[in-house]
Structure formats: structure tokens, C-alpha cells
Amino acid sequence: MSRANPSGSESYLGALRERGDESVMAAVDGEGRRAELVIADTERDDAWLSVDVDDAPSLDEWR
């Protein structure tokens, strides 16, 4: 991963996904040197992580 927020973790995101929390969203940010997939909890400050799009899992891998 290219960056991760200090207050977030993969287990936190996994727990949100299991309970169907709709405050977690993903988007591709293409403004920097390379495009990044950003996953963020819109209801918490600094709860986000990003990964280069080339390194991000496909939708089938997430299922």
C-alpha cells in the first residue's frame, strides 16, 4: 500500500464490510503521479487508505 491512515486498519475495514456499513466508499484518484484507489470512511476523520490502482485487487478478488 502506498499510504495508510494512522487510525485505520484492514480489520476495521473488514468489520465495516461485514456489517454493510454504507459510510465506507472507494474512488480512483488520478490527480497525482499515478492513479490510486482510495477507500475512506466518510463519517470519521483520517479513516482512509490508498493503494496504486495497478496493485489494487479486482472486484472479483474482493468478493
Question: What string of pLDDT tens digits covers the 63 residues of the chain?
Answer: 445 444 444 555 566 566 665 788 888 888 878 899 898 988 889 999 999 988 888 878 877
Instruction: Report the predicted TM-score, pTM, of the whole model to 2 decimal places.
Output: 0.58
Residue 49 CA to its chain's centroid (Å): 5
Residue whose C-alpha cell reads 477507500 in the numeric block? 39
**Which secondary structure element, helix H or strand E, spans residue 27, and what is its range?**
strand 24-29
Contact 47, 7 (CB under 8 A): yes
Q: What angle do CA 23, 25, 26 make, to 5 degrees?
A: 170
Q: What angle do CA 26, 9, 45 make, to 5 degrees?
A: 65
